[in-house]
Structure 1
Amino acid sequence: MPPREVRIPTRDGGRLWAERNGTGNPVVLLHGAGMDSRLWDAVVPELARHHDVIRYDARGLGRSTPPGKPFSDVEDLRAVLDHFGLRHAALVGLSMGGETALDFTLAHPERVTALVLVGASVSGHVWPPSPELSVYATARRERDTTTLAELELTIWAAMGRTAPGGELIEDMVASNAERRVVSEQHCTVSTGRAAEPHLADISVPTLVVHGAHDHPEIAVIAERLVTDIPGARGETIPDADHYLPLRTPERLTKLVLSHLP
């Protein structure tokens, strides 16, 4: 079936841009902070040959409307599933999207069939101090979007513009720099608890993937996920940084297809 674009209403009057493509068991793709659903451009075509694939722009990013009041990424994900009439789905999340997927699974375990966590962050994880992350946090706090975009590329897109997907990564970062600051100021954690202490409660099949050139703390988090989530399996992909779906889409797609029900 051809891709179908929709605007999904949220409880507080927002609209989430979403696209549905393919047929089969449902899978939802969640992108990271400062990005949008174009992150999955190179993954969707093959994935949609086997699955009912839904991707959407998180609140305020890409083509979704900016928040005007506090909102929850977990509630937005539930709104997406409800809109499409899905009682359950597999979740594939990168970075912030992985964090949302984990929080949602803990809050609504009956609605998740499988997890793929790609370069995932985890709510409750304490990042060790470092000069680069301190500057990054300051830029976010002070809404210095120029510095924020530069640091996003330096820290998270370490392989640079000449690596696969480089031009699209730069465009996503530039177009979402201001939007992410607004969204992050309004985003709340609706589950009421951090995920990291409760990873052992996750019972769905889980695949944890990260790139060998990602930030070192992402590898630490990946190891924690594999250790604490019962039965979780880990994969490290060479020649990939944090933007793994654009750096090595064929390898990632193969892993996802082999894991999903």
Structure 2
Amino acid sequence: MTTHTTDPAAAPAREVRIPVPGGGHLWADHRGTGSPVVLLHGAGMDSRLWDSVVPLLAGRHEVIRYDARGLGRSTPPAAPFSDVDDLLVVLDHFGLHRAALVGLSMGGETSLDFALAHPGRVASLALVGASVGGHDWPSTPELSAYATARREQDTARLAELELSIWASLGRTAPGGELVEAMVADNAVRRIAAEQHLAPSADGDAEARLGTVTAPTLVVHGDRDHPEIGVIAERLAADIPGARSRLIPDADHYLPLRTPDRLSELLLEHLARP
């Protein structure tokens, strides 16, 4: 892969704090020039997920990433909030009428919900290891334990299960130390934020996939949880014109495991008319 190292990509990121309804702010940064791309991370993570991807995209695009409400460097919520509404606040703050959205896991679900609610604001979608509202998850021992840890607010157990279920390649794989750091840093914050998270206005996005109008790329890793593969197949089959790609040697934390291959696919997708 050819890495593009133009001046905009090499320039330091510009950090901003975006006021949000109910008080507090979202931490964000942006760099590069060109058509805008917004990167959304998953639950229990923060925008460091994209550390290795941002420089590879910023040679051709204005790249914006932010920490979801209560995670990373964003302030905890004090009132009910919506991830979809927060994404709209981010786009409006940067004066973006339309942008490409790249979301992983929860970030993919938010991106998809946003595309259904505000189709005119979305230039394209890239759903990476994405979840989707309305999906009927199987009842397995590990997923049941994960749900119980969230419900009982057992942050230590939740962090342990996050790593065993979703970061199966372990600490020795690329990005392993950062994965562990993000999970540890956000375990308590995640539980606190989820207490205020309002249900999506469209809780069954899976039933409306056929109405998505944005050009869509679906990506997942071959070492991700099997149900993510099931969801990826459904997304690719039901979203009109969607393309699907499987990346080898990657679990759920795909942007840190295989950033070069993911960036290559994203740049190709973003360049399509």
Aligned match for 2:103, one of 63, 68, 93 = 93
1:62 aligns with 2:72: yes
Q: Distance in 2 between matches of 1:246 and 1:150?
A: 19
Amino acid of the structure 2 residue aligned with 1:203: T
Pairwise CA distance, 1:190 = 4.2
- In structure 1, the residue matched to 2:151 is 141
Q: Which amino acid aligns with 1:39?
A: L
The equivalent of 2:160 in structure 1 is: 150
Aligned to 1:209: 219
How much has 1:69 moved relative to structure 2? 1.0
Partner of 2:256: 246
The answer as to 2:131 corresponding to 1:132 is no
Aligned to 1:122: 132
Counterpart Cα distance in 2 of 1:170 and 1:193: 30
| 2:195 match: secondary structure | helix
Q: Does 2:86 align with 1:106? A: no
Cα deviations by residue, 1:209-239 (Å, 9 ceiling, x for unpaired): 0000000000000000000000001001010
Indicate conservation of the 8 Å contact 2:165/2:225, yes or no: yes
Q: Which residue among 200, 213, 227 is the counterpart of 2:210?
A: 200
Write the deviation string for residues 121-151 of structure 1: whole angstroms up to 9, x where unpaired. 0011110100111111111111111110000
How many residues are matched? 261
Comparing 11-20 with 101-110, greater Cα deviation is found at 11-20
AA matched with 2:110: T
Whole-angstrom distance in 2 between the partners of 1:118 and 1:112:
16
Aligned equivalents of 2:15, 2:126: Cα separation in 1: 24
Structure-2 separation of matches of 1:188 and 1:81: 20
The code of the aligned residue for 1:199 comes to L
Task: Decide whether the 8 Å contact of 1:115 with 1:207 is kept in 2.
Answer: yes
d(CA) in 2 for partners of 1:192 and 1:208?
21
Residue type of the partner of 1:212?
D
Determine helix, strand or coil for the equivalent of 2:62: strand
TM-score (norm 1): 0.99
Aligned to 1:41: 51
Asked if residue 74 in structure 1 is aligned to residue 74 in structure 2, the reply is no
Looking at structure 1, the residues matched to 253 and 202 of structure 2 have their Cα atoms a distance apart, in angstroms, of 29
What percentage of residue pairs aligned between the two structures are identical?
A: 71
Distance in 2, matches of 1:232 and 1:91, equals: 14
What is the alpha-carbon distance in structure 1 between the residues aligned to residue 201 and residue 36 of structure 2?
24
Counterpart for residue 93 of structure 2: 83
Which residue, out of 172, 189, 200, partners 2:182?
A: 172
Deviation at 1:192, TM superposition (A): 3.7
Aligned residues: CA RMSD: 0.8
Alpha-carbon offset, residue 208 of structure 1: 0.2
The one-letter code sitting in structure 2 at the alignment partner of 1:46 is L
What is the CA–CA distance in structure 1 between the aligned matches of 2:46 and 2:206, rounded to whole Å?
25
Asked if the contact 1:75/1:190 (under 8 Å) is kept, the reply is no
Given the alignment of the two structures, is residue 6 of structure 1 paired with residue 34 of structure 2, yes or no?
no
Give deviations 1:33-86, integer Å, cap 9, x for gaps. Answer: 000000000000010001000000000000000011110000000000000000
CA distance in 1: counterparts of 2:150 and 2:138, whole angstroms:
18
Structure 2 gaps, min length 5: 1-7
Q: What is the distance in 2 between the residues matched to 1:214 and 1:190?
A: 25
8 Å Cα contact 1:93/1:117 also seen in 2: yes
| 2:186 aligned partner, one-letter code | N
Q: Give the C-alpha shift of residue 13 in structure 1.
A: 1.1
